[in-house]
Amino acid sequence: MHAEFRRVPGRALPPGAKIYAAYLTAKLAGPAKAILYPGQAPTEKPLVVITAPTASTKGVQFPGGHLLESGLYVELEGNAEGVLLVWD
């Protein structure tokens, strides 16, 4: 099992990875949004959209894990500090 905190948008996990959880942290400046896409670019339907109020953390879990055949792309919007990805 691995955990990685991503502060910038882009390719986040390799093809074949299995994601178990994602936690978005918002800055003091305001609310944040993270959009996780299956694949290597934000062109497909999102896997999940996470929103977090100002200065807080919001997470989603994937019980048993979710296989990412084409990897994972992360988009960060608003006042996102970053997103913590738990994967294998």
- Pairwise CA distance, residues 33 & 79, whole Å: 8
pLDDT above 80: residue 60: yes
- Across residues 20-46, what is the average pLDDT? 95
pLDDT above 90: residue 9: yes
pLDDT for position 32: 98
What is the domain count for the chain? 1
The DSSP secondary structure of 63-88, one letter per residue, reads EEEEEETT-EEEEEEETEEEEEEEE-
Token couple for 33:
């949004």
pLDDT above 90: residue 43: no
pLDDT for position 68: 97
- Pairwise CA distance, residues 79 & 82, whole Å: 9
Which structural domain range is residue 65 located in?
A: 2-87
pLDDT above 80: residue 44: no
Q: In the block, which residue shows the tokens 């905190």?
A: 5
Q: What is the CATH number for 72?
A: 2.60.120
